[in-house]
Amino acid sequence: MSQDRTPIVAFHSLIPGIPAPQRADRSGLGILPTRAFRYCDAVTTAAGFGWHVTAPLDFSLMWDGHEILWTCEELEHEWMPLGLGAVQYPHFRARFDEEVPEDIRGFSPPFLTGLPEPGVVQMWTGLFVRTAPGWSLLSRAPANLPRPAAYEQYEGVVEFDKWFGPLFTNIRMTRTDTPVEINQLRPILQVQPVPQFAYADAVMNSATTTDAFTQWGNAEWDLYREHVVGPATVEDHKPGHYAAEVRRHRRGQGCPYAAMAAAREAAPAG
- Per residue in 59-83, pLDDT (tens digit) is 999 999 999 999 999 888 799 999 8
Supply the pLDDT for residue 234: 74
What are the tens digits of pLDDT across the range 140-153? Answer: 999 999 999 899 99
Supply the pLDDT for residue 172: 97
- Contacts of 177-181 with CB under 8 Å at 24 or more apart are 177/62, 177/63, 177/64, 177/65, 178/62, 178/63, 178/150, 179/60, 179/61, 179/62, 180/60, 180/61, 180/62, 180/148, 180/150, 180/151, 181/58, 181/59, 181/60
For residue 13, pLDDT over 60 is answered with yes
Burial grade of 28 (CB within 10 A; 0-12, 13-18, 19 or more): buried
Give mean pLDDT, residues 114-141. Answer: 97
Q: What architecture (CATH level 2) is domain 3-196?
A: Distorted Sandwich (2.70)
What are the tens digits of pLDDT across the range 239-260? Answer: 666 666 666 666 666 555 555 5
Give mean pLDDT, residues 88-104. Answer: 96
Domain with CATH 2.70.40.10 in the chain: 3-196
Q: What is the rounded CA–CA span in Å between residue 267 and residue 270?
A: 9
Give mean pLDDT, residues 213-235. Answer: 91
Q: How confident is the model at residue 194 (pLDDT cuts 50, 70, 90)?
A: very high
Number of H helices, E strands in the chain: 9, 15
